[in-house]
Structure 1
């Protein structure tokens, strides 16, 4: 009897050792440039924002400064809005959406809320268009003190002094066809588990926290985004990715149980966005615009509530 191997690295049913992790590292190819796409854009905006280097990654021969932009006229007497992108480096619209937001934003939030924007949490993964970091770890499962992703720990350290002051946090993500063709099979292979395929939601949706339901906040974002791109319909069981749809385009689960990025500020107005740029009904450009609209609506809701 033979066991079908769904991923070219490892032995079915056996978790990876350091040997397999090294094979995976060596198989990843740099396809784009973090410096050109992110750092240079931030540098062009330094006359409008204060740039902060909040950490540095050293992976193999590569060194990546971790950068954030914040309101130039920071006011300690007003609250803070956090925007994060690129926690999963391959999710392009989150990175570009946060950068485009910075470029488009003028002074409309001055005196109302401080902006703190981290466009690309995982630069090594961004360059290689992968989900994991260099150590084959998913940063979006590592946002807790004992987490094993340097990217996650560095971001937590950045925002730690500001906890209690965040009024909103929106974490920008997307789903692509490679979630099922590459990343889910790789995860099963790494963990020695069986790969079970799932259907990718076709459209924009949000992830809320079932321990802190804010349907008013999430529904406001969905209504705004629906003006620029389509909202993902639920499947035949009324779910998206196996989670019940609690309102159109919104799913919930216990965010803290998964240690995802949206938990780090402690604010009640926190969510994870998801778009599907591979859909025949949209385009990568439209998905970027959806992310920008989601950011703006999240901030506007926070300021008016």
Structure 2
């Protein structure tokens, strides 16, 4: 565990408008949401109903927000939700959602209505950021009257269509930049002292402490272990500072913390976490792990719940 001082702001004092503007000026476009993501979505019109559910007006650019909906939506089938890119910098979450859509969603649509929002935070994707331009973390902002447009857009869509879900899986990564950039920035923004956590080497899930589902989480872990390794607990029996509840699984309070996993009232929810900086995993393997996680979740639902 190490402390790290962030170059913006005064220690012990939360950021104001000036500090947030200073932070924003340091951000730059590093990749293209339109080239990397929208082009793939546009290739899926023959397989899905593609809907634009909103748009974000950021830094002289407009980011349309898209979701993919399986065809022949049937009220007799349970609804499942797959989300990626809530933290735009977490690459395999976005591309794992798209890969699942391309490779497997049609097969599972015989049992489920599937809604896929592959990139919740396109500005974050382009600038490789955890936050949006207002230094707001979308994955702490899934709450009523959300200050994050990324969250409000998908929340409004689900509410306006009166969608209920039996399952929601949200695809994330834990990276070395969590310690080198994002946790120090968070502490500086909030006027707190940063203490880094141990970055786990491998895949793990975050279950909802408000609705524990150990068998569901195990099904995800068992599916992913066929693709990549599962993160071990650290010397304190924890992963990212939280007690390990079972192999590769920790718990957070989804709705209380405003996490994307609390977006719906689904009884079965999971947030996936892969480690793309591992010496034992490639970017492609991380994408495959995300796909395996979604498949493992759906197989559990198909065999144990339906």
Task: Give, in angstroms, the shift of residue 6 of structure 1.
Answer: 1.3
Give the aligned partner of residue 94 of structure 1: 93
For residues 230 and 142 of structure 1, what CA distance do their matches in structure 2 show? 31
Q: TM-score, normalised by structure 2?
A: 0.95
Root-mean-square deviation over aligned CA pairs: 1.4
Give the aligned partner of residue 110 of structure 1: 109
| Contiguous gaps of at least 5 residues in structure 2 | none
Matched, 1:233 2:249: no
Alpha-carbon displacement from aligned partner over 1:248-267 (angstroms, at most 9, x marks no partner):
00001322221100111211
Task: Give, in angstroms, the shift of residue 106 of structure 1.
Answer: 5.8
Matched, 1:212 2:211: yes
Task: Give, in angstroms, the shift of residue 155 of structure 1.
Answer: 1.1
Give the aligned partner of residue 296 of structure 1: 295
Give the aligned partner of residue 148 of structure 2: 149
Whether the 8 Å CA contact 1:75–1:111 is kept in 2: the answer is no
Give the aligned partner of residue 7 of structure 1: 6
For residues 265 and 166 of structure 1, what CA distance do their matches in structure 2 show? 7
For residues 255 and 213 of structure 1, what CA distance do their matches in structure 2 show? 11
For residues 209 and 184 of structure 1, what CA distance do their matches in structure 2 show? 22
| Contiguous gaps of at least 5 residues in structure 1 | none
Give the aligned partner of residue 166 of structure 1: 165
Distance 1:184 1:275, change over 3 A: same
Give the aligned partner of residue 125 of structure 2: 126
Alpha-carbon displacement from aligned partner over 1:42-69 (angstroms, at most 9, x marks no partner):
1011011111110110012011001101
For residues 5 and 107 of structure 1, what CA distance do their matches in structure 2 show? 47
For residues 5 and 131 of structure 1, what CA distance do their matches in structure 2 show? 18
Q: Which moved more, 1:128-137 or 1:100-109?
A: 100-109
Give the aligned partner of residue 175 of structure 1: 174
For residues 15 and 176 of structure 2, what CA distance do their matches in structure 1 show? 24
Whether the 8 Å CA contact 1:164–1:267 is kept in 2: the answer is no
SS in 2 for 1:255: coil
Distance 1:219 1:36, change over 3 A: same
Task: Give, in angstroms, the shift of residue 79 of structure 1.
Answer: 1.5
Distance 1:106 1:203, change over 3 A: closer
Give the aligned partner of residue 197 of structure 2: 198
Q: Which moved more, 1:152-161 or 1:260-269?
A: 152-161
